[in-house]
Structure 1
Amino acid sequence: MKRVLILFVVFYLKIFSLEIVGDYVVGEKGEKVKLKEYNRILIYNFGAVEIFYKIDAEKKIVAIGNHSKAIWPEEKTKLLPLAGPISKPSLETILSYNPDLVIFNVMGEVKNGLDKFNIPSITFVNRSLDDILKNIDILGKLTGREKESLNLIHELEIKREYIKENFSLTGKALVLYSDSPPTSFDKNSLPVEVLETLGLKVIQPKLGKKSIISSEYILNENPDYIIGTRGVKSVDGIVKSMPLIEETKAFKNKDIYVIDSSEILRASHRVFDEIEKIYFELKKEKNQK
């Protein structure tokens, strides 16, 4: 009995994004939808929107959530109907589009309300490059675009290997989620994996998922790179928020950067292009010094 329980717990914990279990797709919050082709899909996950266009499934989209930043391909997505905020979507608005599937962002859902109308919904988030590949496969199955999704996965796998073999940075990197206070990104996060793919050793205090960076830590680790994302707006903001940062190799060599993480955190297939862009951005800065 104990062994069965342990196996169940391990299986459950592995469901971080989308998983196929029998004839169903299981989502981030335990939702189950029938594994079949859907034709009227309302999307609050912007990474999914971009993937839909890449696998030629855009005709399945009836509307998307409100957004403040451009979604690729902007010339087409800007014409899509808007279905309200992703965090607190209106049940009435959702129903007005008569969807046969709703894809939620992890930040919000109205699943209980949809159940009353027999409208399936699912939630997912891409926390890793492997998550992106796996979810492309599943979205291909849910849209009847399996061939296109498999072709895209193959293309991205080749691209990842090419990046690992041809683009390389060395040294330790500290990745900041915020500079007020200076807080590191979760070790198991996509921005961290992106930098590790480029060969950097990403460091983080062993104090929870997002840890405040102390003066002692920054001196002991002495990172070669300090990279701000998410809530970090400027290099000056990083410098002012971190006492003794002047003693680090990153400061002395001017290897402190702020990278727009919106494309990475959206976590579509375009993340693989962003890895290359980050590499060349850092190399360009390095070559100009």
Structure 2
Amino acid sequence: MIKILLIFLTMCGAVFSLEIKDSKVYDDYGNSIKLKEYKKIVVYNYGVVEILYKLKSQDEIVAIGNHRNSIWPEEKTKDLPLAGPISKPSVEKILSFNPDLVIFNVMGNKVDELKKIGVPSLIYSNKSLENIIGNIEVLGRLTNKKKESLKVANELEKQLNSLKNKEKLKGKALILYSTNPPSSFSKDSLPVEILELLGLNVITPSFGKKSIISSEYVLSENPDIIIGTRGVKNIDDVKKAIPLIEETKAFKNNKIYKIDSNILLRGSHRVFDEIEKVYKKLK
């Protein structure tokens, strides 16, 4: 059986979980807002921005969180007003846009403070591929784009089913969250779900949320393929973090690739196209 080491270094920004219940929308943290149309939204999550553009709800975006990487569609999002860092949002900055809704990233939020002054807000959290599809429908309800959101959701369901029906990849995968120190994703993370969807047997050490991975552990798995993403500039990065990686099949056979995890883990509709690319790369 082929063993595969996949190194995913990401900026964990988000895949999301929203639920409609009793005419309200709830997030994973118990926060809720009224289920109605919102017209002035400050967004601190890039996946949400991309989804709103896909739904043609971009006119409802009044500002987005500061960003270094491109957000689709870049030619339009690059000119959006900035609302400050997603990890340390400022209430004063938020209020300067006079929003009727604020959507925060899990990296930082001011939900409690905004609640005191009557500004609705939610936290968008990392979940699963099915969550992405469901959240698109919720965002459609919040921006009066129900018809459009149902259409997009239906298309993504078909794409997800197509991915499930592809010829399965075979092998063992170890996914790393970082190389400094080298650490793995948890079992319930989106990267693990994606690779298992493609047929890989993903190794997830049971110690800790993001477990540190030793050189000895990597060598014991002896991967055949290594995929580096956003945080890996070259092979030297991996060698410094995991010296024994030079003894693996992946290193010896020059089976080293890179994947743009900014798209893969952003949690927008675009992740499904990115999974197709990952599949072709590993096939």
State the TM-score, normalized to the length of structure 2: 0.87
Instruction: Identify the residue that residue 28 of structure 1 maps to in structure 2.
Output: 28
Query: In terms of mean alpha carbon deviation, does 186-195 or 142-151 score higher?
Result: 186-195
Distance (Å, rounded) in 1 between the aligned partners of 2:19 and 2:31: 10
Q: Give the direction of change, closer, same or farther, for the CA distance of 1:105–1:202 in structure 2 (3 Å limit).
A: same
Percent identical pairs in the alignment equals 62
1:39 is aligned to 2:39: yes
Instruction: Identify the residue that residue 172 of structure 2 maps to in structure 1.
Output: 172
SS of equivalent to 2:159: helix
Q: Give the direction of change, closer, same or farther, for the CA distance of 1:175–1:228 in structure 2 (3 Å limit).
A: farther
How much does 1:205 deviate? 1.9
Instruction: Identify the residue that residue 224 of structure 2 maps to in structure 1.
Output: 224
How much does 1:230 deviate? 5.0
Question: Is contact 1:28–1:106 with CA below 8 Å preserved after alignment?
Answer: no
Distance (Å, rounded) in 1 between the aligned partners of 2:54 and 2:150: 12
Instruction: Identify the residue that residue 261 of structure 1 maps to in structure 2.
Output: 261
> What is the correspondence of 1:113-132 to structure 2 with a 5 Å cutoff?
113-132=113-132
Distance (Å, rounded) in 1 between the aligned partners of 2:145 and 2:237: 45
SS of equivalent to 1:25: strand
Q: Which runs of 5+ in 1 are unaligned?
A: 1-15, 284-289
> What is the correspondence of 1:56-75 to structure 2 with a 5 Å cutoff?
56-75=56-75
Alpha-carbon RMSD: 1.9
Distance (Å, rounded) in 2 between the aligned partners of 1:233 and 1:100: 41
SS of equivalent to 2:72: coil
Distance (Å, rounded) in 2 between the aligned partners of 1:204 and 1:23: 39
Larger Rg: 1
Question: Is contact 1:172–1:225 with CA below 8 Å preserved after alignment?
Answer: no
1:147 is aligned to 2:147: yes
Query: How many aligned residue pairs are there?
Result: 268
Distance (Å, rounded) in 2 between the aligned partners of 1:135 and 1:224: 36
Counterpart AA for 2:274: E
Q: Give the direction of change, closer, same or farther, for the CA distance of 1:219–1:68 in structure 2 (3 Å limit).
A: closer
Query: In terms of mean alpha carbon deviation, does 253-262 or 92-101 score higher?
Result: 253-262
Distance (Å, rounded) in 2 between the aligned partners of 1:37 and 1:45: 19
Distance (Å, rounded) in 2 between the aligned partners of 1:193 and 1:225: 18
SS of equivalent to 2:165: helix
Q: Give the direction of change, closer, same or farther, for the CA distance of 1:172–1:79 in structure 2 (3 Å limit).
A: same
Instruction: Identify the residue that residue 274 of structure 1 maps to in structure 2.
Output: 274
Question: Is contact 1:174–1:204 with CA below 8 Å preserved after alignment?
Answer: yes
Distance (Å, rounded) in 2 between the aligned partners of 1:184 and 1:62: 36
Counterpart AA for 1:136: I
Distance (Å, rounded) in 2 between the aligned partners of 1:249 and 1:271: 29
Counterpart AA for 1:269: H
Instruction: Identify the residue that residue 52 of structure 1 maps to in structure 2.
Output: 52
Higher helix share: 1
Distance (Å, rounded) in 1 between the aligned partners of 2:225 and 2:206: 19
Counterpart AA for 2:233: K
Distance (Å, rounded) in 2 between the aligned partners of 1:71 and 1:213: 31
Counterpart AA for 1:119: V
Distance (Å, rounded) in 2 between the aligned partners of 1:213 and 1:163: 30
Q: Which runs of 5+ in 2 are unaligned?
A: 1-15
Q: Give the direction of change, closer, same or farther, for the CA distance of 1:233–1:167 in structure 2 (3 Å limit).
A: farther
Ranked by relative contact order (alpha carbons within 8 Å, sequence separation 6 or more), the top structure is: 2
SS of equivalent to 1:108: coil
Instruction: Identify the residue that residue 198 of structure 1 maps to in structure 2.
Output: 198
